[in-house]
Chains A and B, each alone.
Chain A
């Protein structure tokens, strides 16, 4: 018993140490400005204030960035998951020439570094007159989100038993009918998982946003919040920490309600391949 308690104490102190920066982010965001610079620092705030959140929402461009990020990530997720679901169905359940090579092209692009694509993409989007638009980011995000979603959905699709589809076909359903009525319901958890990962990936993307957008009207949260750091004369850490907390809200929601989908996605795409 004593060993068990000791082990738990040991394990939990590591877990808490790992989580400490996140705890510190939340604490800092609710401390009044003067308390930030107190020596020694207070671990729990003496006075809790939400003034930084109010400032953030009322007096900065944060809400514009937030809106841009929501639109951007949602559109990217819908487009990518739609394409990838059809694509994965085709890659796993159909036989045609070039199918294998295609599957490995997907894997190859899944590993491709963004910096290789960014220069030609930048030139392409500028010549199309799309620079500084949310649409340009949707197009750019497809380059990493689509291979990712395809690869993930491909392994989810492989997990749907083939017999189910055959049975439906024997009963006279068409391929697409069987896909809609039999496969899609089976695949739904995988689709949710993939959508969640795609959304988070787009929500967190930085490099393309940095290169392709430099107007506040189209800037997403990642580059937007960083620009608040650079433009501020003296860095207001509590404001930045409040922005960080707000930026993580979708993530916290996902963790609270959809955690099983998150871990499922890990198993499917990350390592099993």
Chain B
């Protein structure tokens, strides 16, 4: 069936619509699309950062990158960090949301306190945690020593696997509030009648959680996991500021590798290649997320 011809008014509206989005599109092209395309283009060159002198090397950067142990180590670290911190965020986030959904004294104050780590600057979070982790005067070592868990102060950030565990925990602390708020919003829309019915059927709290709450949360949890996986995978600030990728490169993830290659090793072409490969890996998650959103929208 051919579409009906748009009326004059509809055409006028369409023009206005385009006009309103035009500034955004221009800015998008200038600061996002153009850099994105040139990142791919740059990855085909060898560029020395201080002089910005470059020469065409084709796909050599990619060949070199796949043969480098550092790339694979960083990818592996990236996956360990993402899976580790994401799992903790989800588990702790869902549990906390269930707690905050109950009738709690001063519930809105509790909610604010839980939300705060998410909004606080990563710089602030890192400074505070570095002070807590401080090996000589840090409060954490003091607690652990007093409780008798350890006999000797621990170096939390300078040795492995401590450094990885520490950043995973701080990441979980910083980002689990996102899960809490998202899950909490969904919990409030589950009809109370479902729980009533289950209670009449004799289901205990645990059964009610697995038979009603969890299936109801499934949909929103998938979205949260996808989003957080993408965001955790590309996290730079927290890891860079906590450990700088160290000890040596034991906590170096791909974003840190890109930064190091571009601004410390001074090889911008190679760094672009790393960035492109990293984006290609993330693309899988991004497409799944975009697909889901499109289906629901």
State the A residues within 8 Å of B (CB): 4, 7-8, 11-12, 14-16, 18-19, 21-22, 24-25, 28, 36-37, 39-41, 83-84, 86-87, 89-91, 93-96, 99, 102, 104-105, 107-109, 111-124, 126, 139-140, 142-143, 146-147, 150, 175-176, 200, 203-204, 206-207, 211, 221-222, 225-226, 229, 237, 240-241, 243-244, 247-248, 251, 254-255, 259, 262-263, 266-267, 270-271, 273
Contacts and interface: CB of A to CB of B under 8 A. Distances in A.
Given A19-B113, A41-B142, A90 B17 contact: yes
Nearest to A117: B35
Interface string B187-202: 0000000000000000
B182 A12 contact: no
Contacts of B129: 21
A222 B105 CA distance: 36
Contact of B262 (A12, A83, A87, A119): A119
B51 interface: no
Contacts of B237: 206-207
B294 interface: yes
B2 interface: no
Given A115-B259, A120-B34, A87 B137 contact: no
A247 B113 CA distance: 17
Given A95-B14, A116-B39, A117-B39, A12 B123 contact: no
A182 to B, nearest CB: 16
B10 to A, nearest CB: 7
B48 interface: no
B80 interface: no
A84 B27 CA distance: 11
A119 B120 contact: no
A115 B18 contact: no
Contact of A87 (B21, B102, B108, B113): B21
Nearest first, the 10 A-B pairs at minimum CB distance are: A94-B17, A113-B234, A120-B35, A90-B20, A87-B24, A204-B121, A90-B21, A96-B14, A120-B38, A19-B113
B27 A175 contact: no
Interface string B126-168: 0111011010010100100010000000000000000000000
Contacts of A121: 31, 35
A10 B120 CA distance: 25
Interface stretch (B62-70, B206-214, B278-286): B278-286
A226 B178 contact: no
B131 A102 contact: no
Interface string B229-268: 0100110110011000000000000110011001100001
Chain B contact residues: over half helix, strand or loop, or mixed? helix
Nearest to B124: A244
Contact of B18 (A16, A90, A112): A90
B220 interface: yes
A115 B35 contact: no
Nearest to A43: B139
A87 B255 CA distance: 31
Interface of B: 10, 13-14, 16-18, 20-21, 23-25, 27-28, 31-32, 34-36, 38-39, 42, 52, 96, 99-100, 102-105, 108, 110, 112-117, 119-125, 127-129, 131-132, 134, 137, 139, 142, 146, 173, 178, 181-182, 185, 220, 223-224, 227, 230, 233-234, 236-237, 240-241, 254-255, 258-259, 262-263, 268, 271-272, 275-276, 278-279, 282, 286, 289-290, 292-294, 296-297
A255 B31 CA distance: 32
25 contacts: A11-B99, A11-B102, A21-B173, A24-B131, A25-B124, A83-B24, A87-B20, A90-B17, A94-B20, A99-B17, A104-B290, A107-B293, A118-B258, A124-B34, A143-B31, A176-B16, A206-B121, A207-B259, A221-B123, A241-B127, A244-B124, A244-B127, A247-B121, A266-B181, A267-B181
Nearest to A37: B137
Nearest to A259: B112
Contact of B99 (A14, A24, A41, A139): A14
A41 B282 CA distance: 45
A151 to B, nearest CB: 10
Contacts of A259: 108, 112
B122 A206 contact: yes
Contact of A96 (B18, B116, B131, B233): B18
Contacts of A83: 23-24, 27
Given A19-B114, A271-B182, A271-B185, 5 more contacts: A87-B21, A115-B258, A206-B121, A270-B178, A271-B220
Given A108-B286, A117-B36, A273-B297, A24 B121 contact: no
